[in-house]
């Protein structure tokens, strides 16, 4: 913020009369906002020093008065009255009188303090938070349920799906995300292979770097990293888009025109995300494994062939398919929560911001929870 030097007050007091007697205080110059407090303190000092028995304030020499200046004159009078001092304001011009008439003296009194709600006790807070989390969970589940029903209905009438929008969001969530997903996965593969090689080298088990990375990447890291990236890129975008439409009453317009916002807005996004996230996951797996292979070949003296064959030995089709199913479920969660948070927006710009944040946080949380559930279920399924 550029600083401006505080201008010198361009008003002056002229005092006629003796201490503790009738005094005429003539004010000249400009009474404006910038000098409000200066004027008040100078006046207070004048009252303390002169202690007038009767005070007349003459404003005939005031050249300019704004509403803050008018406020200052009114406060002068109030202050004098509070000290039981006879006060008179004289030679007010018509313009000054009109400005003073604008000031509502009643409104200047501080409004009675609003009683603050009793602070909640710790147990109540825990209860309230638990209820709101539960409520939120139920809302998310209800929304996802509605979404699944809409999805099922759409498969019976595929012509009714908005394919144009679906393709648009497939590009947004999928194609546009390829560079970042590829780069992150490659680096992740490099890091994990490098860190694990430091340990495995000690046992001469270099080749198992390939196994470790294949299992970690395909089963867990590929789907999770892809999902987290998509949540950050697309889940947030969905929440912001639908949230802004809520604020602008566009969603209301859709409802009035007989469209189901769930099918019109949410379904193409969810469908697009569910179609592209498994593909992105495969792509992430591939780049992760390439990263590992770079470490294996350059740092561990493995051949490309032995690295690939060890990777193949460590994986089977079930692992790959289950990870793709998992990523499709993650996609449903990401897009579903993004849309649900968007539809929850009420109010203005701030609500859109918090919906966006909440969409990403909730999606990542649910991705991890669902992944844990998958880990247990898949373990017993094999």
Contact residues for another protein, defined by CB under 8 A: 1-2, 4, 6, 32-34, 36-37, 40, 66-68, 71, 95, 98-99, 101-104, 106-108, 110-111, 114, 347-350
Nearest to 335, CA basis, from 134, 165, 110, 119: 165
Helix, strand, or coil (residue 144): helix
Q: Which is nearer to another protein, 2 or 119 (CB)?
A: 2
Of 248 and 316, nearer to another protein (C-beta) is 248
What is the spatial distance between Cα 349 and Cα 360, in angstroms, rounded to a whole number?
17
Residue closer to another protein by CB (options 65, 270) is 65
Question: Is the four-CA dihedral 296, 297, 299, 300 of positive or negative sign?
Answer: positive
Residue reference for tokens 């030995």 = 313
Shortest approach of another protein to residue 34 CB, angstroms? Answer: 6
Give the dihedral of Cα atoms 329, 334, 336, 342; nearest 10 deg.
180
Rounded to a whole number of angstroms, the minimum distance from the CB of residue 346 to another protein is: 8
Which token pair is 147? Answer: 């979404």
Q: Which is nearer to another protein, 102 or 256 (CB)?
A: 102
Q: Give 67 or 153: the residue with its C-beta nearer to another protein.
A: 67
Least Å distance between CB 356 and another protein? 15
Task: State which residue, 99 or 228, has the beta carbon closest to another protein.
Answer: 99
Taken as a whole, the chain contains a residue count of: 382
Cα–Cα distances in angstroms (integers) from residue 328 to residues 96, 131, 271, 309, in the given order: 73, 30, 10, 28
Residues 6+ apart with CB under 8 A from 88: 55, 56, 57
Task: State which residue, 117 or 348, has the beta carbon closest to another protein.
Answer: 348
- Minimum Å gap between C-beta 62 and another protein is 14
Q: What is the DSSP letter of 302?
A: -
CB of 89 or CB of 364, closer to another protein:
89
Smallest distance, Å, CB 2 to another protein? 5
Q: How far is the CB of 109 from another protein (least distance, A)?
A: 8
What element of type H or E holds 166? helix 163-173
The two tokens of residue 215 are: 């299992």
Shortest gap between Cβ of 8 and another protein (angstroms)? 13
Rounded Cα distance between 338 and 265, Å, is 11
Question: What is the closest distance, in whole angstroms, from the C-beta atom of residue 110 to another protein in the complex?
Answer: 8
Q: What's the closest the beta carbon of residue 7 comes to another protein, in angstroms?
A: 10
Alpha carbon distance 262, 342 (integer Å)? 11
For 207, the 3-state DSSP assignment is coil
Identity of the residue, 301 or 350, whose beta carbon is nearer to another protein in the bound complex:
350
Q: SS3 of 188, please?
A: helix
Alpha-carbon dihedral sign for residues 368, 378, 324, 189: positive
């Amino acid at each position: 913020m550029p600083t401006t030097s505080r201008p010198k007050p361009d008003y002056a007091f002229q005092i006629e009369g003796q201490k503790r007697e009738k005094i005429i205080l003539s004010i000249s110059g400009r009474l404006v906002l910038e000098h409000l407090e200066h004027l008040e303190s100078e006046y207070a000092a004048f009252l303390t020093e002169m202690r007038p028995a009767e005070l007349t304030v003459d404003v005939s020499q005031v050249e300019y008065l704004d509403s803050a200046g008018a406020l200052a004159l009114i406060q002068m009078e109030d202050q004098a009255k509070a000290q039981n001092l006879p006060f008179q304001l004289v030679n007010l011009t018509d313009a000054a009188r009109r400005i003073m008439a604008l000031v509502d003296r009643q409104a200047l009194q501080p409004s009675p303090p609003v009683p603050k709600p009793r602070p909640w006790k710790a147990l109540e807070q825990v209860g309230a938070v638990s209820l709101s989390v539960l409520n939120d969970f139920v809302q998310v589940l209800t929304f996802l349920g509605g979404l699944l029903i809409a999805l099922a209905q759409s498969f019976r009438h595929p012509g009714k799906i908005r394919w144009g929008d679906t393709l648009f969001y497939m590009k947004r969530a999928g194609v546009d995300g390829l560079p970042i997903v590829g780069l992150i996965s490659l680096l992740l593969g490099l890091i994990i292979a490098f860190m694990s090689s430091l340990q495995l080298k000690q046992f001469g088990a270099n080749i198992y770097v390939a196994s470790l990375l294949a299992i970690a990447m395909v089963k867990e890291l590929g789907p999770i990293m892809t999902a987290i990236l998509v949540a950050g890129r697309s889940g947030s975008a969905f929440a912001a888009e639908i949230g802004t439409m809520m604020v602008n009453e566009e969603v209301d317009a859709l409802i009035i025109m007989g469209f189901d916002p769930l099918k019109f807005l949410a379904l193409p996004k969810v469908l697009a995300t569910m179609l592209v996230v498994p593909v992105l996951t495969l792509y992430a797996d591939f780049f992760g494994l390439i990263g590992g292979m770079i470490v294996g070949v350059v740092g561990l003296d493995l051949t490309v062939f032995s690295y690939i064959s060890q990777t193949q030995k460590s994986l089977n089709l079930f692992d790959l398919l289950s990870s793709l199913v998992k990523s499709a479920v993650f996609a449903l969660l990401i897009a579903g929560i993004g849309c649900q948070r968007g539809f929850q927006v009420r109010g203005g710009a701030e609500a859109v911001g918090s919906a966006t944040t909440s969409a990403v946080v909730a999606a990542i949380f649910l991705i991890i929870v669902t992944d844990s559930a998958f880990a247990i279920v898949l373990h017993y399924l094999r």
